[in-house]
Structure 1
Amino acid sequence: MIECSSDCVEVKGVLNKHDNALEQLKKLVENLDVIPNENYLKRFLYGADFNVDEAFKKIKSSKEHMLDQHDWYRKDGPLKLKEFIEKDIRAVLPDCDKDGRPIYLVKNGNIDVSTMSLFDVVAVDDVWIESILMERPEAAAKGLCVIIDIKDQSWKLSKWMQPNLIKQSIRKTDNLPFKDFKVHVVNNSWWISIGIKMMWPFLPQKFKDMMHFHFNNLESFYEYIDKEVLPIEYGGLKEVKYAQLYEKLYERNDQIFESFSQYRNYKN
């Protein structure tokens, strides 16, 4: 008879705990009309350290917001959003920050409000985030690192800073499975101080606490993300081929669309 080591017993214990939590969560979501897609449920469990009640609370809140605000939860796959994706407004970088969070790059200077709406941009965010969590639901336990590049950001984006839109954006972000967020603002824009003043009063304290304003001080930025994983345009050493990242995203079009169709099962 082969005896299991203490490490093996510990691993089995963790796996059993995870399996039990998943089964409990499946039963809880039955009344929410949520299809018990295991990947979808696992991401919330990882983000809540497998606290079933906390995971359920976030799924419930997300479902309620979804039913109330359809425009914030479109079901588009990445191929339908190709014209916006290839404007280089968003990308998930290949590596992680120093604490293991996936890195999501937001280039607000490339947003053209004359050709895309706020909800087009939100839909692009959704497919990128879905691509992370479909492949690695455990990434939710690490959190998400967001780099917001405000270079050349147009003052026209200020029309998206209305109190109700900010409120809905906060609510949606708060319902994402990630355990936490670290947001790094880099570069500068002549009107950004005005934009920050407009938004700041409407942000909950926990959102203010996650913000790091580096602007043009990239040395402080490197304290959180190694230069080796950053694109060259941010003083990093990584040659990031964005077109290849987009192609990989398009390859997952059917999976992403199917996933949205399952848990975004509201009536259009």
Structure 2
Amino acid sequence: MLFLRTQEKHTDQELFKIKQLRQLVEKSNELQVGTDEIFLTKFLCYTNWDTFKAFQAIHAYYDFKLKHPTWVALHPIEFYARLFYATQCRFVMPHTDKNGRVLVIFKTVDAFQQFPDYLQHLIEMDDLIFESLLMLPRVQQNGITVICDLQGTTRNFLRQFSPTFMKIVNEKNSVLPFSQRIVHIIQRGFLMHVTSSLFLPFMNKDFKERIFTHDGRHLNKLRDMIGMDCLPAEYGGPAVNVLDTNLIVNHLSQNSDYLENLQHYKKLKDN
């Protein structure tokens, strides 16, 4: 099952690392976060089970949240469920890619007229998706693959992509604790090329090396890199692979208590 949360049995060394990180977090006067295993192991997997780097990664993530408090999910899951169904722009596929990474589809769908705060909604929806996937042991271990389909880009989107906005995107990318994140950008036409040309210069070198662009008319490279069996039908996958909003909404709803609790985790300001 894609959303299976059962943790594989840890080695004695891994259990020691979890205990060690828990003690560091509990002793911190600044961090007001949980110390449950799923929370701790997402940072340990991210840092290849280096306890002190994991502790630093927790600080870095909550430094970002302290600096940019509106760049994380802020509302109950029911609030976001309405947005997912209304916009049809964020999906998770039922099967992993050929490398065992969960496959996420982000589509640019112009809903600015329906939702005046649409860009803010997207920021929060993406944060919620990432936090929900990082609960999964397979994601902690293998990471995710993201397909960003820019073919619905309009001038309404381009107006939002200021240098300040893109710098914050890059900041958040640098602290998200994914052990691996591969991004495929599908673009076609002038506006899509403008979008990626605005986006890429702000990405750090390491992340930029994991970004691949594809012309929307020629997706053979995308199919080879991800694997045909998991791709949506519209990108050349099996006809049964339809984009279904219910998959991600059901996952969020089933874990709503935990996800909403994460929204209260924070780092205290320095005195």
TM class, shorter-chain normalised?
0.7 to 0.9
Structure 1, unaligned stretches of length 5 or more? Answer: 1-10
What is residue 229 of structure 2 aligned with on the other side? 228
Q: Distance in 2 between matches of 1:71 and 1:247?
A: 22
Q: Distance in 1 between matches of 2:54 and 2:93?
A: 27
Q: Number of aligned pairs?
A: 254
Deviations 1:230-267 (A, max 9, x none): 11111110433514314513532533444324524779
**Deviation, structure 1 residue 118:** 2.1
Q: Which consecutive aligned stretches of 4+ in structure 1 deviate over 6 angstroms post-superposition?
A: none
What is residue 66 of structure 1 aligned with on the other side? 65
**Residue 44 (str. 1) matches residue 40 (str. 2):** no
Asked whether the equivalents of residues 46 and 137 of structure 1 are also in contact (C-alpha less than 8 Å), the reply is no
Larger relative contact order (CA 8 Å, sep ≥ 6): 2
Q: Distance in 2 between matches of 1:82 and 1:47?
A: 28
Q: Superposition pairs for residues 106-117 of structure 1, below 5 Å? A: 106-108=106-108, 110-114=109-113, 115=115, 116-117=117-118
Asked whether the equivalents of residues 93 and 104 of structure 2 are also in contact (C-alpha less than 8 Å), the reply is yes
CA distance 1:232–1:245, shift in 2 (3 Å): same
- What's the C-alpha RMSD, in Å, of the aligned pairs? 2.3
Q: Distance in 1 between matches of 2:23 and 2:162?
A: 39
**Deviation, structure 1 residue 138:** 4.3
Counterpart AA for 2:230: V
**Residue 159 (str. 1) matches residue 155 (str. 2):** no
Structure 1 residue matching 2:224: 3-state secondary structure: coil
Q: Superposition pairs for residues 1-268 of structure 1, below 5 Å? A: 15-30=11-26, 31=28, 32-86=31-85, 87-108=87-108, 110-114=109-113, 115=115, 116-134=117-135, 136-216=136-216, 217-237=218-238, 238-240=240-242, 242-252=244-254, 254-264=256-266
CA distance 1:37–1:102, shift in 2 (3 Å): same
- With normalisation by structure 1, the TM-score equals 0.86
**Deviation, structure 1 residue 57:** 1.6
Counterpart AA for 2:15: D
Which one has a bigger Cα radius of gyration? 1
The farther-off stretch of 242-251 and 120-129 is 242-251
Asked whether the equivalents of residues 78 and 124 of structure 1 are also in contact (C-alpha less than 8 Å), the reply is no
Q: Distance in 1 between matches of 2:267 and 2:260?
A: 11
Q: Judging by fraction of residues, say which structure has more helix.
A: 1
What is residue 3 of structure 1 aligned with on the other side? none
Structure 2, unaligned stretches of length 5 or more? Answer: 1-7
**Deviation, structure 1 residue 222:** 0.9
Q: Distance in 2 between matches of 1:139 and 1:152?
A: 28
- With normalisation by structure 2, the TM-score equals 0.85
The farther-off stretch of 68-77 and 194-203 is 194-203
Structure 2 residue matching 1:104: 3-state secondary structure: strand
Identity among equivalent positions (%) equals: 25
What is residue 7 of structure 1 aligned with on the other side? none
Structure 2 residue matching 1:191: 3-state secondary structure: helix
